Amino acid sequence: MHRLRLRRGSGLRIATLALLAGIAAGCGGAQEGGAGGAGRVAVMLPPGERPFWMPLARDFERAHPGVTVDLIEGPQSTDLRENLYTASLLARDPSFDLVYMDVTWTSKFAAAGWLRPLEGAFPPQERDRWLPAAREAGMFRGRLYRVPVRTDVGLLYYRRDWLEGAGYAPPSTFDELVRVARALEDPPRRWGFVWQGKQYEGLVCDYLEVLTGFGGTWVDPATLEVGLDRPQAAAALEFLVRCRSVDPISPPGVATYQEEESRRLFQDGRAVFLRNWPYVWRLAQREDSPIRGKIGAMSMVHAPGGRSAGTLGGWGLGVSAYSRRPDLAVAFIRHVTTLESQRVLCGETGYAPALIEAYRDSALLAANPFLDRIGRLHANAVARPGIARYALASDILQRHLSAALAGGEPAARALREAARETRLMLGRAGAAEAR
């Protein structure tokens, strides 16, 4: 029933399965070698996050003698890690006790029966300590399956120094953004606007906030109504196409960029505007950063009369239905979601914490004064639809957005086709798919 979702043909499928086999083999070894045999918990993380989780894992091991925490480094791409977890869970493989999940995975993984419900372990008074949007992203059909560790919200960064120097206020509409970017850019040395245009989940995030700014919608999770063939949806895609090829404020390569490619260009002082997540702020303020003290951040601009939005992102932990040590897995979640652990994880990285009280914490605010602003910009968060078939809906949208960006399909036609395919897919799934 649930097929392994791989996007780039059989070569990737083989590579993914080989990586999974390697991970499983590595996990087995760790299990046998676990000192004292009191147990082991394993979780796969993005490679960049692993160093920041290490102190949390070591603290947990100290508090639980004989227990080993395996922090397994997965691939960089969100989509590939989802594929790996999916393949493992489909095979009822106990290698991962914990699933480190994007906001969009909860429904699919919970609907498939791959996760243990957690509301017994985290009663309402504990859940009230989490940001409402992050908490909601862990719920499926009234039950809790994912505890938020960190949250994300899409932001528009800009070169405050350049805008001020040229007498521009930060733009508030899409047209103003293009106008200011054109005035300040000097391509290819300096581009106007960089973002995530590659065919992957990040492109959907970028599109969703532009779509919201034009007053459009994607899929209503309650009714499964699809809004992609409405004029607002076409206008939003036309804006991205315009940035890349009509009023080219974005480099042609933007269609291959993920978060880091776009951040590097901005951080090297080669872009006026950047769409990205909160982690960028902390890196931009490092001692050796050429843009230190020179940037501002706000939510994405909007159409006249529209509203600014930032796509809700974020990561949290669920417990695999196939874990042999769910008790330890829950204990580890508790450990990494305390205020002290949020200080460790978010202070250093600039990630936005999931705990409400963390936004008032003086230690965290001292490490990252931008936190205060992120907390306020979080109010503009717009969620991707929490439907069990989210991955398929995202695949369809990614494909058609990408075709339009590459110039292969006019925006309105691409989205009409995306709407048709989405309706067909959801129609088959039935209304029961809605959360």
Among 20, 133, 147, 205, contact with ligand GLC (rule: CB under 6 A)? 205
Question: Which 138-197 residues touch ligand GLC, going by CB under 6 A?
Answer: 152
For ligand GLC, the closer of residues 202 and 385 by Cβ is 202
Taken as a whole, the chain contains a residue count of 435
**Where does this chain touch ligand GLC (CB under 6 A) — which range of 163-171, 201-209, 323-331, 411-419?**
201-209
Least Å distance, CB 80 to ligand GLC, is 11
Residue 361 near ligand GLC by CB under 6 A: no
Distance between CA atoms of residues 115 and 110, nearest Å: 5
Coil, strand or helix at 330: helix
Residue 202 near ligand GLC by CB under 6 A: yes
Residue 375 near ligand GLC by CB under 6 A: no
Instruction: Find all residues with CB under 8 Å of 56, minimum gap 6, and list them.
Output: 335, 336, 341, 344, 345
Residue 281 near ligand GLC by CB under 6 A: no
DSSP character string of 218-268: SB-TTT--B-TTSHHHHHHHHHHHIIIIIS--S-GGGGG--HHHHHHHHHT
**Where does this chain touch ligand GLC (CB under 6 A) — which range of 198-206, 209-217, 232-240, 420-428?**
198-206
Least Å distance, CB 78 to ligand GLC, is 5
Least Å distance, CB 432 to ligand GLC, is 25
Stretch 51-80: interaction string toward ligand GLC, x if CB under 6 A? ---------------------------x--
Residue 313 near ligand GLC by CB under 6 A: yes
Burial environment of residue 14 by CB neighbours within 10 A (0 to 12, 13 to 18, 19 or more): exposed
Coil, strand or helix at 92: coil
Question: In the chain, what is the greatest distance between 2 CA atoms, to the nearest angstrom?
Answer: 66
Position closest to ligand GLC via CB? 313
Distance between CA atoms of residues 412 and 404, nearest Å: 9
Taking alpha carbons only, the member of 104, 108, 245, 243 closest to residue 171 is 243
8 A C-beta contact, residue 351 and residue 62: no
Residue 201 near ligand GLC by CB under 6 A: yes
Least Å distance, CB 24 to ligand GLC, is 25
Q: What is each CA distance from 279 to 49, 108, 154, 196, 255, in whole angstroms?
A: 11, 27, 10, 15, 22
Least Å distance, CB 428 to ligand GLC, is 25
For ligand GLC, the closer of residues 267 and 311 by Cβ is 311
8 A C-beta contact, residue 354 and residue 127: no
In angstroms and rounded to an integer, the radius of gyration of the C-alpha atoms of the chain is 22
Instruction: Answer left, alpha or beta for residue 44, where phi above 0 means left and psi between -120 and 50 means alpha.
Output: beta
For ligand GLC, the closer of residues 78 and 262 by Cβ is 78
Q: Which two tokens stand for residue 201?
A: 């989940």
**Where does this chain touch ligand GLC (CB under 6 A) — which range of 127-135, 229-237, 307-315, 322-330?**
307-315
**Where does this chain touch ligand GLC (CB under 6 A) — which range of 163-171, 224-232, 297-305, 309-317?**
309-317
Least Å distance, CB 385 to ligand GLC, is 13
8 A C-beta contact, residue 243 and residue 401: no
Residue 207 near ligand GLC by CB under 6 A: no
Q: Count how many Cα atoms sit within 13 Å of the Cα of residue 138 in the half-sphere of its side chain.
A: 30
Residue 314 near ligand GLC by CB under 6 A: yes
For ligand GLC, the closer of residues 219 and 303 by Cβ is 219
The residue count for binding ligand GLC (CB under 6 A) is 11
Among 82, 97, 102, 209, contact with ligand GLC (rule: CB under 6 A)? 102
For ligand GLC, the closer of residues 31 and 258 by Cβ is 258
For ligand GLC, the closer of residues 138 and 314 by Cβ is 314
8 A C-beta contact, residue 140 and residue 111: yes
Q: Which residues bind ligand GLC (CB under 6 A)?
A: 78, 102-103, 152, 201-202, 205, 277, 313-315
